[in-house]
Amino acid sequence: MGIIRHLSDYAVPAIFVVILGVAVLKKVKAYDVFVEGAMDGIDTIIKIIPSLVGLLVAVGVFKASGAMDSLILLLRPVTDLLGMPPQVAPLALLRPISGSASFAFVTEIIKSFGPDSYAGRVAATMMGSTETIFYTLAVYYGSVGIKNIRYTLIAAIMADIISVIASVWACQFIFG
């Protein structure tokens, strides 16, 4: 745990130094570019806030109705076999469908169990290791007019399953 702690303490400052160093070498006005990017970020946040609020409400209703507890109970044998916290199982099913809903779900996991809990760590790792398959296929294939996705969907789902399992195992190895 000591090595990870030291890496995490110095990672962000090191990234800033590298970025600023490259900006100086390439004669880029780093502050102006930063401000421009921040303004674009604010525009993006304003556009997605209604969706996020709706999704957070939907996740809250899903939890309050008892449907989440039923789903967790149904998936318990699989989660136990993999060593996955049962609370994270719905995320594994939701992530390929919707990134925003997954983000709302991860937010709920972290609120309920904390960011340093095993469930919080697995959820965060899974969120960074998996992809919104259906959205990505629709956007990228749709933008170039491809209608027959052939084996892409199968390969993407297989990669997602492997990423879910790897997320659990990586957290077991690092934090277990």
Q: Indicate whether 40 and 70 sit together in one domain.
A: no
pLDDT tens-digit profile, the chain (176 residues): 578 777 888 888 999 899 989 989 999 898 898 899 889 888 877 877 776 677 678 777 877 898 878 888 888 999 999 999 998 998 998 898 888 888 988 999 999 999 999 999 999 999 999 998 887 887 777 777 788 888 999 999 999 999 999 999 999 999 87
Q: Indicate whether 29 and 78 sit together in one domain.
A: no
Compute φ and ψ for 156, nearest 5 degrees: -65, -40
Q: Is 148 helix (H, G, I), strand (E, B) or coil?
A: coil
- Please check whether residue 76 lies inside any domain of the structure: yes
Q: Indicate whether 90 and 168 sit together in one domain.
A: yes
Q: Indicate whether 70 and 130 sit together in one domain.
A: yes
Q: Indicate whether 38 and 92 sit together in one domain.
A: no
Q: How many independent structural domains does the chain possess? A: 2
Q: Indicate whether 36 and 83 sit together in one domain.
A: no
Q: Indicate whether 6 and 32 sit together in one domain.
A: yes
Q: Is 150 helix (H, G, I), strand (E, B) or coil?
A: coil
- Lookup result for tokens 């995490």: 8
Q: Indicate whether 72 and 159 sit together in one domain.
A: yes
- Please check whether residue 55 lies inside any domain of the structure: no
Q: Indicate whether 113 and 156 sit together in one domain.
A: yes
Q: Indicate whether 74 and 6 sit together in one domain.
A: no
Exposure class string for 99-125: b at 16+ Cβ within 10 A, else e: bebbbbbbebbbeebeeebbbbbbbbb
Compute φ and ψ for 158, nearest 5 degrees: -60, -45
Domain range spanning residue 171? 66-175
What is the predicted pLDDT for the residue at 46?
Answer: 83
What is the predicted pLDDT for the residue at 3?
Answer: 80
What is the predicted pLDDT for the residue at 43?
Answer: 83
Compute φ and ψ for 78, nearest 5 degrees: -70, -45
pTM of the predicted model over 0.75: no
What is the predicted pLDDT for the residue at 1?
Answer: 58
